[in-house]
Structure 1
Amino acid sequence: MTPSRAELLLVAELAAEAERYDDVISQIKAIADQYDGRLFNDERNLLSIAYKNKTNTLRNSWRVVDTLEKMQASRASAGITTRQLLLIRQQRKKIERELANVCKDIVKLLEKQLLPNANQGEERVFYSKMKGDYYRYLAEFAHEIEREWYAEESLSAYKFAYRHAMSTLESVHPTRLGLALNFAVFYHDVRRSPDRACHLAKNAFDDAVKSFDSDFSDHNMSQTIRDSLQILQLLKDDLVLWSKEIQ
């Protein structure tokens, strides 16, 4: 018997609690297949969390192994054995393949099902931001021509999302602010341009601050406002760091 949407979601929620993110993804994909790529907010958020956790683990592993490889390479250049270097390099490439597969999987889902069926406004911004994020992750460890292609795809997705956010979402909306934060990170980490990163982050920060009603306290703040304030703090922290780099 084909499980209902509620049953698929229940299993996905259980899998998320158990940190079985492959199971989360398979359940939400089943919902997308059955309902023409249309996900409710809770389904969409579970999907986002699952892919984020999978990629974060792999990205952290890659950074550790990449650092160790560089350290070992400097020793090898001084005449120390290259055997360990070879083993480390093999492990780094294995992690890259796994990470690439995960990123390409969510990009394919976004391009084939989720984005074509997304509503105008927040949903389309959310999915376009995701597309930019995962192409950015691919660009972080790819090489030469491939890296540039992934970077261009990421830039295109972020630009589309940002234009759409500017015309459909308020400046304090957490999805718009989260997009601005990640887009700025793209300019800093991938394009190596702290100037452009600061410019984008500062504009988003200033626009949001101007729109906030200063007359609210903790007890009457909605969760949306709390989310926005958290992202604003991240934008502020990055602005401080990047400004120091420019100086």
Structure 2
Amino acid sequence: MKNIEDLESLNKEELVYLAKLSEQTERYDEMIEYIKAIIQKTPQDLPADDRTILYIAYKNIVSDLRTSWRVINSIEKKEERRNYMENKATANSYKKEIEQDILKYSKDILEVIEHDLIPKATSSESRVFYYKMKGDYGRYMSEITTGAINKEIVAAAEISYTAAYDLAKNDLPSTHPTRLGLALNFSVFFNDILEEKERAIEMAKGAFDEAISELENISEENSKDSTLTLHLIKDNLNLWNNELNEES
């Protein structure tokens, strides 16, 4: 990757091209540096295409780390069940390294959003996008933290999700992919983090039913993303309702 001084000499079009190259070659750390440089060269609200670059760069890194965390967490529990305590300690140490990486990238994107993006956001769509991302990365951090720190992270994530949800309900169509993605992730937050399955079902069902009733008005541009998200919401609803039935 070019060094920071080189990035400052590039124009925005060159940086966007480099960001797309880094995506295609799966060099997401470099992609993050390119989108940060793009943000610094964009004095106004970030366009949708650039927001997508931001989303992809951080999402791919943190998704891989979350997968790694789940694997090592499972190994640690297995070693404990087998009473291999030395192996358990080694796995736990490795898990903590992964946790530090998740926290590092999550805190980084939260700082970028809070200081560089939200202050310049002028459209409801971009503001919903940013507050949703704040909720998402708070959710990821809450999965690997405990105690008072966890409570603080969870509370902040809920505030961000709620801000996004209120904006989306007022300003975005029910079929808009950003609004549907928010409903999907916020309902997962209710189910997985707050352990409030009924609230998760209520939110997901409300979003699903409202979007289905307006499906004929969906734009061709949004059709693919919105339809995919509706399928994911429906899958969660089926799963959560089945779990409720089993519990009762």
TM bin, normalised by shorter chain, reads: over 0.9
For 2:96, which of 88, 93, 96 is the aligned residue? Answer: 93
Map Cα deviations across residues 93-143 of structure 1 (whole Å, 9 max, x no partner): 010001110100000100111111112311110111001000000001101
For 2:214 and 2:46, locate their aligned partners in 1 and report how far apart those are by CA, in whole Å: 30
Residue 50 of structure 1 pairs with residue 60 of structure 2: no
For 2:20, which of 13, 31, 47 is the aligned residue? Answer: 13
Change (3 A) 1:190 1:168: same
Shift of 1:34: 2.4
Aligned to 2:31: 24
Aligned to 1:117: 120
For 1:222, which of 220, 223, 233 is the aligned residue? Answer: 220
For 2:178, which of 175, 181, 184 is the aligned residue? Answer: 175
Check whether the contact 1:135–1:153 (CA below 8 A) recurs between aligned residues: yes
Residue 187 of structure 1 pairs with residue 190 of structure 2: yes
For 1:89 and 1:125, locate their aligned partners in 2 and report how far apart those are by CA, in whole Å: 37
Amino acid at match of 2:190: Y
Aligned to 1:4: 11
Aligned to 2:109: 106
Deviates more, 1:66-75 or 1:34-43: 34-43
| Structure 1 unmatched runs, 5+ | none
Aligned to 1:231: 229
For 1:51 and 1:158, locate their aligned partners in 2 and report how far apart those are by CA, in whole Å: 18
Shift of 1:39: 2.0
Aligned to 1:132: 135
For 1:152, which of 134, 151, 155 is the aligned residue? Answer: 155
Check whether the contact 2:45–2:122 (CA below 8 A) recurs between aligned residues: no
Residue 201 of structure 1 pairs with residue 204 of structure 2: yes
Amino acid at match of 1:23: E
Shift of 1:212: 1.5
Amino acid at match of 2:228: Q
Aligned to 1:75: 82
For 2:125 and 2:46, locate their aligned partners in 1 and report how far apart those are by CA, in whole Å: 13
Residue 164 of structure 1 pairs with residue 164 of structure 2: no
For 1:21 and 1:36, locate their aligned partners in 2 and report how far apart those are by CA, in whole Å: 24
For 2:80 and 2:153, locate their aligned partners in 1 and report how far apart those are by CA, in whole Å: 27
For 1:142, which of 139, 142, 145 is the aligned residue? Answer: 145
Q: How many residues align?
A: 238
Shift of 1:38: 3.5
Change (3 A) 1:37 1:68: farther
TM-score of the pair, normalised by structure 2: 0.92
Amino acid at match of 2:32: I
Amino acid at match of 2:208: F
Check whether the contact 1:36–1:113 (CA below 8 A) recurs between aligned residues: no
For 1:169 and 1:224, locate their aligned partners in 2 and report how far apart those are by CA, in whole Å: 12
